[in-house]
Amino acid sequence: MKRNPLTPAVRVQVEIALTSIRGDPARLSALESDARELGLSGAEIDAAKRGASFNVVADAIVKYALGLETRDAEAASVSEGRLASFGMPMVAIEIALIVDDLH
């Protein structure tokens, strides 16, 4: 059985990426604090703000969420394909729900 890649640390990376493009500095500050509590480094937090991650799976997840948020079908499709190639196609459904819930 595969471990769910949507750990609290990955979820907060997704939220940081989405909040960064939405321009909510108060929420971003709170998420950065949460990320540090979860053990993310400053570099990992900065990468999330730029819509990326140093972890290949987390990077695909963050980029998929951003593709959905910005309605960039090509970016979402590429990232969804990466998740499928990692054997995690169902993660895309969970990410879509997270993006919707954050609106």
pTM (two decimals):
0.92
pLDDT tens digits along 56-88 = 999 999 999 999 999 999 999 999 999 999 999
- What percentage of the chain carries pLDDT values higher than 70? 98
Indicate whether 1 pLDDT > 50: no
Q: Examine residue 26 and state whether it is found in any structural domain, yes or no.
A: yes
Indicate whether 2 pLDDT > 80: no
Q: Examine residue 66 and state whether it is found in any structural domain, yes or no.
A: yes
CB 44 within 8 A of CB 54: yes
Q: Examine residue 15 and state whether it is found in any structural domain, yes or no.
A: yes
Looking at the 3D structure of the chain, how many domains does it have?
A: 1
> Cα separation of 47 and 32, whole Å?
12
Structural domain boundaries enclosing 62: 8-101
